Every structure is written in C-alpha cells, then in structure tokens.
Amino acid sequence: MSTTVAELVAYLDASVPFAWASEWDRVGLLAGDPAATVGSVLVAVDPTRAGLERAREMGATVLLTHHPAFLEPLEAVTAAEGAAGIVFDAARHGVALVNCHTNMDRAPSGADALPVLLGLTMTSALEPEGDDPARPRAGRICSPGRGSATLGGLAALVGERLAVRPRVWGVAETAVKRIAIAPGSGRSFLTAAFAAGCDTIVTGELRYHEAREALESGLRVIEAGHDATEWPLTRALAAIAAAAPGLDTASVVLDEAAYPWWIA
C-alpha cells in the first residue's frame, strides 16, 4: 500500500486542520507534485538546504517541516540563495515541501509537547479564545513540576531537556508558581501571560526591550531558542505523519536537532 503527496497532505489537514492556522500563515503543500508517490518523509523544524540534502540522501520524497519555506510570495523561483533557491532545488530533485505551522502550534499534541517534555502540570491554554471557539489555542499555562519551583531550577531543567544554554531574565532564587509556555516567538503571548497572572514565561525568543519590560513588570523570562523550543512540537508532527495511511513508522524520519547558533 502506498500514498501520494496529495493524500498525505489531505491526511495532515484532517489531523491538524489547516483552518487552525493564522490568517497570515502558509501551510500545506508549498512546492511539489501532488500526484507523486510518497516513499519516505523527513520531518524537521525548518526547510533548509542541509535538510533538503539529507532528504535526498535518504531518498525522501517529502520534507515535512514546521516552518514554511516562504511566507511572502516569491517573485521568481530560480537557482539562487534563500527561499527561492530551496524551492527550486526541491522541485528539481522531486522533494515536496509540506509544512504545518501555526495550525500545529494550536494542535493539542503540538501545544502540549514542550510542557510534557519539561514535566510541568498544564492548567489551561495561554492563547485567548478567538472568534472561533472550536479552534484549539496555542501556548500553555502550567504549574511547576519537580525541580522547577525556582527560576534557576526551571532554567536548568529547560537547558537539560532541550540541550541548550538558555538566557534568563530574573533572579535565580525567585519562586516560580505560574508558568506561561510559548514555543518559538513569545512576543504575541506576553499580554496573555500578564492577564493570566503568570510570573515566568518560557519561550524561544523575545526582543530585548520586550524582555526587559516584561521583567520590570514582574514576568521573568527564559529564552531557550526559537528552534530549540519547537523541536518537541516537530516530534509530535512526525508521530502524526507516521500514522498516515500508506506509511509506516520506519518511513517517517525525524531529523536530528541541530541549531545554526551557539553560545561562546
């Protein structure tokens, strides 16, 4: 039994509805032949040249990522640097580019992934309810778990579980009682974190002035890297893809976590 790119995309849409995505987002099949047979799938956070090369090496016909290959419309698709070049190379080598972005952020398995990895107790969603009450909400509000009752303890736990060195805003000994979890960019979740009475936010990144203002307003910040905080979500996406009809667990491969940045 086999499946096509179009059938895999339809399965993803049924499992993690594209309608859950934000209006500005791009999700689904962004490049490739819908009628092509899916041999294997490589799952990663970003559609990078290195990821595309790994997909080719393993014979994958789909590179399934969290982030889209592009958000703004491409003026041309040529053998160039940047998104246009990646789309060009993917098409040239028969690798379809598919992604689940903000729809996966809102999917229960996606939003739960980081808190579960950190061993936190989830109490509610962080994102406020929008116009569609049926749409699940991104982010989580959590209570601390074992070893995370102080800012320093929580930061150490985040660093250990994600294999990074987080940047921490606040005094290490400060007690942590209510945690906002916002993988990726936490900018749009700050208002919700304040409204929910959170004293700490674990996120991928904030702008300097946002982090400083948050700290001065009583919200401690742990920044662990946009990509690092979204790898647990990507693992959940791989599990969803592996359940698609016509595929098996062995044909869906989660790429190794690797970050283009480092701390000297």
Pairing of strands 167-169, 140-143: unpaired
pLDDT-based confidence at 76, cuts 50/70/90?
A: confident
Per-residue model confidence (pLDDT) at position 52: 94
Q: Quick check: 128 pLDDT over 70?
A: yes
Q: Which fold has domain 5-100+230-254?
A: 3.40.1390
CB burial of 7-41 (b: ≥16 within 10 Å; e: otherwise) equals bbbbbbbebbbbebbeeebbbbbbbbeeebebebb
Q: For the domain bounded by 107-224, which CATH number is listed? A: 3.40.1390.30
Per-residue model confidence (pLDDT) at position 213: 97
Per-residue model confidence (pLDDT) at position 1: 64
Query: Could you read off the pLDDT of 161-220 as tens digits, one per residue?
Result: 999 999 999 999 999 999 999 999 999 999 999 999 999 999 999 999 999 999 999 999
Same fold, 5-100+230-254 and 107-224: yes
Query: Could you read off the pLDDT of 15-56 as tens digits, one per residue?
Result: 999 999 999 999 999 999 999 999 999 999 999 999 999 999
